[in-house]
Structure 1
Amino acid sequence: MILTFRKILVPMDNSEHSRNALRYALGLAQTQGAHLALLHCFGRIPMLIGGEPRKELVRDLVREAEKLMAPYVKKVRELGLEPALIIKEGRPGEVIVQEAKSGDYDLIVMGTRGLSDMQGVLMGSDAHRVLSAAHCPVLLTR
């Protein structure tokens, strides 16, 4: 049985690790004809901020994320693929797992990096969380 991927989720944070992950995901998407989605998370906004100020802050954060992600969207389009761009509020590890499941993705491709805490000695805490909780395969890149 040969496994193929239909939908690939690529969390992006503008780090070297996430750029490397995108390169792997692009190769897989091109060879397998898979749909590619780029996911960017901005942190949680404190609950003390509510109403219109909260909405305005979210709009500003989404605009900034769109600017940050524009070069990656452009790169994907130049290779003949039309990526989805997903921007969400929340803790990255949790958001990635939730989005992968709710969006019915069958592969997550993401970067990893070493941290000083015991859980993150070999990989970052978000990568560890995703690897532990994701419903689908996770490809971690350096």
Structure 2
Amino acid sequence: MKILLPVDGSDSTTKVLEYLATHEELFSKAHQYTVLYVTPAVPPQVKRMLPREDIEGYYQQEIEKVIAPIRAQLQERGFEVSFKGLVGRAPDVISQLATSEGYDMLIMGSHGHSALGNLILGSVVTNVMANTSTPVLVIR
């Protein structure tokens, strides 16, 4: 099975990793896992003022800050995982990648906002579920 793990480095990410490690009957190490972190794009006003190399370097630093500890945790647990760092609006990037690369499942952590919080702030999980036909397992 080809599984996409969108992460943000929060406690929700930790819960997803713990869930994978403690449910080997469902998520064996034989599956193909991809960890995805999506960093928000720099505002256009800032992009115009800085050299492209500086912006690209910033994106790489932000991506590595989140992915490095996750890489270490998964390697320690014996998982072979590929990693992707992309730039954009997280729900859009996740949904598009899940569809375009043919993932069988997404496993995402939920921050557990209330219904009112989701209404006001929105939710990455809610947006992804609304915009992809790929099954989504939400860990809370």
Query: How many residue pairs get matched?
Result: 135
Q: Which has the higher contact order (CA 8 A, sep 6+)?
A: 2
Corresponding position: 1:137 with 2:135: yes
Give the match for residue 88 of structure 2: 90
Identity %: 30
TM-score by length of 1: 0.81
Which stretches of structure 1, 4 residues or longer, exceed 3 Å deviation after superposition? 25-29, 114-119
TM normalised by structure 2 equals: 0.82
Mapped partners of 2:68, 2:76: distance in 1: 12
1:43-92 per-residue CA deviation (whole Å, 9 max, x = no partner) reads 12223314962342122221232132112112212222221111011111
Gap regions ≥5 residues in structure 1: 1-5
Unaligned runs of 5+ in 2: none
**What amino acid sits opposite 2:75 in the alignment?**
R
Check conservation: 1:29, 1:36, Cα contact below 8 A.
Answer: no
Kindly provide the amino acid, as one letter, of the partner of residue 129 in structure 1: N
Alignment map for 1:29-108 (pairs within 5 Å): 29-30=27-28, 33-48=30-45, 49-50=47-48, 53-108=51-106
* Contact 1:24/1:109 (8 A) holds in 2: no
CA contact (8 A) 1:10 1:22 kept: no
